[in-house]
Amino acid sequence: MSGQRNHAGHLVFVIALIMVGCQRPPSDVTTTNKEVVRAYMAALDAQDFTALSDLLVEDCVIHLPDGTDRVGRDAAFQVIRGFYTSVPDYTHGIEEMIAEGDLVAVRVKYGGTHQGEFLGVAPTGRQVDYAGMFFVKVADGVLTEVWFVDDDLNLLSQLGMEVVPKGSLD
């Protein structure tokens, strides 16, 4: 009987070790990468191009929602400046952030006032508020790649554009 209790005690101990091992705390790299992304978003909202220079690797790649890529820090700055010309008070509110290794995923709420031409839409003065996501690859404390997935239909609708199925106006 005592032999059975001894085995049962070992089994409980092994199961406890397995369970503790499966509940790993986030790695320092993952936490650091999230902080880098938070700093990037704060620099965007502040339009702080000095800080952005420190956070984007020189040959970074920006993957835009339209399927095109911009390569290099200067190209990224053109995209950023272009958007802030259209929506000068543009903000990024972090709704959720998940990190795994060198990749950080962010669910974000965008907002601002449409004060300059955007995608062919003349300034409306309207407040916009829409959702999006982006994914960032971080290496050695700097962003190397950024992918954007935004709710552009919602944004364009808020700017007064109508979405019409292709061929329905023929």
Residue 37 domain boundaries: 26-158
- The number of beta carbons lying within 10 Å of the beta carbon of residue 24 is 7
Where residue 90 sits, what CATH number does that domain have?
Answer: 3.10.450.50
pLDDT at residue number 138: 96
9 assigned to some structural domain: no
Number of domains in the chain: 1
Q: What pLDDT, on a 0 to 100 scale, did the predictor assign at position 52?
A: 95
Q: For residue range 90-102, what is the model confidence (pLDDT) as tens digits?
A: 999 999 999 999 9
Does residue 111 lie in a domain region? Answer: yes
In a domain, 18, yes or no: no
pLDDT range class, residue 25, cuts 50, 70, 90: very low
Q: Which of 28-37, 75-84, 155-164 has the lowest mean pLDDT?
A: 155-164
Asked whether residue 97 is assigned to any structural domain, the reply reads yes
Q: Is residue 51 a part of any domain in this protein?
A: yes
**What's the DSSP call for residue 55?**
H
Residue 49 lies in a domain: yes
Give the rounded distance of the alpha carbon of 4 from its chain centre.
54
Residue 155 has a pLDDT of 87
